[in-house]
Amino acid sequence: MVMTAARPVVLSGIQPSGQLLISHYVGAMRNWVAMQDTHDSLFMLVDLHAITVPQDPATLRARCYDFVALYLAAGLDAQKNTIFAQSHVSAHAELGWILNCYTHMGELERMTQFKDKSTRAGAVINVGLFDYPVLMAADILLYQATHVPVGADQKQHLELTRDLAIRFNHQYGEVFTVPEPFIPQTGARIMSLQEPTKKMSKSDPSALSYIGLLDTPDVILKKFKKAVTDSGSEIRFDPEEKPGVSNLLTLLSIFSNTEIPALERHFEGQGYGALKVQTAEAVIAFLAPIQEKFAALRADEGALDDILADGAGRARARAEVTLRRVYDAHGFLPRR
C-alpha cells in the first residue's frame, strides 16, 4: 500500500455582513486561491458570525449567494475545496459552546475588534458580539486546520484560538491541532480610501471608503479619484508619512503584479492624479473577468445551493469526528 502524507488543512471564511471588498480579496481570498492546489481546503460563508450585528434577512440571503458566486468567480474550485455555509454545520455552534467553558472573560474583553465594534456610536452590544472569537476558534479547531489565511486584523483571534487549543489539549490530550495564521507579506491591512489610517471595512458608513468586487468601472474610477491622499506630491511608499499614497501603491502593486520600487520609479515626476487613475485602471482590469464569471454563476441559485449542500455534507462528516472526541473527552454518554 502506498502511504501518502496528509495535506495541510486550510480553513477560512468571510462574514456576509456587507459587500465583499478588494481588501478581503487581497488580505485573504487571494491566498485561498493560491493554496487550493496544495492544501486540503475548506472555505466558509460565515453567516452565524454575521448576525452579531443586525442583518436584514432578505439582504443577508441575497448576499450569501453573491458571496458563493464570488468565491467561485475569483478562482475557487468547488471540486477541490469544501465550500459551505457555517449555519449548515451545527457542530460549529456546539463546539463554540464547549469552548466557552474554557475561555476567560478577560481574554474576550481584551479583543481589539470587540472594543472597536462595541464602542461605535449606536452599537448594539449583544453577547454574540462578545463571544464572536470563541465561535471562530470552533470553526477552525473542528477541522484540525493547520493554516488559516486571513488579514492582519484577525491575528489576535487566531492567538486566542491557539491558546484555547493548547489549554484544551493540556487537559484532555491531543484533541486539537494548534493552527498557524497565514497572513500575507503585502496587503495584510488595506486602508480606507477616505481615512487611510483606518482599515478598509465593509461596515464603513461611507461607500467611498471601499471598493466592492462588484463595483462598476465608473464607480471604481470615481472612488479612486476621490481617495484621500497625503500632503506633498512625491509618490513614495512610506506608510507612516504617506498612508494614502502607500495604500494606493500597495493596491496597484498587487493588482498590476508589479513591485513597489518599480512603481515608485515609474511615477517619478508624476502627480497623485496619475497614481489614482492607474490604480483604478488596474483594479478595473483585474475585476472584469471576475465580474463576468460572477454574472453567470449568480444567475443559477440552484447550482449554488447544490455546491453548498455538497460542501456542508463533507464538512459535517469531518466536524462530527472532532465533536465526538470532544464530547467523549468530557465524559458525555455516547450517542447510540
Please, which residue, 157 or 232, has the CB nearer to ligand TYM? 157
* Active-site annotation holder among 117, 223, 242, 276: 117
Give residue number: closest CB to ligand TYM: 27
How many amino acids of this chain bind ligand TYM (CB under 6 A)? 26
- Distance, in Å, from the CA atom of 9 to the CA atom of 41, rounded to the nearest integer, reads 6
Q: Least separation, in Å, of the C-beta of 200 and ligand TYM?
A: 4
State which of positions 293-332 bind ligand TYM (CB under 6 A).
none
Q: Least separation, in Å, of the C-beta of 213 and ligand TYM?
A: 12
x/- track of binding to ligand TYM for residues 51-70 (CB under 6 A) = --------------------
State which of positions 16-45 bind ligand TYM (CB under 6 A).
23-24, 26-28
Q: Which of 189, 266, 293, 325 binds ligand TYM (CB under 6 A)?
A: 189
242 in catalytic set: no
Q: Does 200 bind ligand TYM (CB under 6 A)?
A: yes
Say which residue the cell 449542500 belongs to.
309
199 in catalytic set: yes
117 in catalytic set: yes
By C-alpha distance, which of 153, 143, 149 is closest to 133? Answer: 153
* Active-site annotation holder among 80, 155, 202, 223: 202
Q: Which of 10, 35, 46, 287 binds ligand TYM (CB under 6 A)?
A: 46
- Distance, in Å, from the CA atom of 181 to the CA atom of 157, rounded to the nearest integer, reads 10
What are the E-state strand segments in the chain?
Answer: 9-14, 40-45, 81-85, 147-149, 180-182
- Judged on CB neighbours under 10 Å (0-12, 13-18, 19+), 151 is buried
Please, which residue, 195 or 281, has the CB nearer to ligand TYM? 195
| Inter-residue contact 52 to 129 (CB < 8 Å) | yes
Q: Least separation, in Å, of the C-beta of 71 and ligand TYM?
A: 12
Please, which residue, 43 or 294, has the CB nearer to ligand TYM? 43
State which of positions 132-161 bind ligand TYM (CB under 6 A).
136, 139-140, 148, 150-151, 153-154, 157
Please, which residue, 159 or 234, has the CB nearer to ligand TYM? 159
How many CA within 13 A on the CB side of residue 47? Answer: 22
Quick one: CA torsion of 14, 18, 22, 26, rounded to 10 degrees?
Answer: -20
- Judged on CB neighbours under 10 Å (0-12, 13-18, 19+), 150 is buried
| Inter-residue contact 96 to 127 (CB < 8 Å) | no
- Distance, in Å, from the CA atom of 19 to the CA atom of 211, rounded to the nearest integer, reads 9
* Active-site annotation holder among 115, 198, 199, 225: 199
Cα 76–317–103 angle (5° rounding)? 90
* β-bridge pairing 81-85 and 40-45: parallel
Contacts with ligand TYM, residue ranges (CB under 6 A):
11-15, 23-24, 26-28, 46, 49, 136, 139-140, 148, 150-151, 153-154, 157, 188-190, 199-200
Which residues have a catalytic role annotated? 117, 199, 202
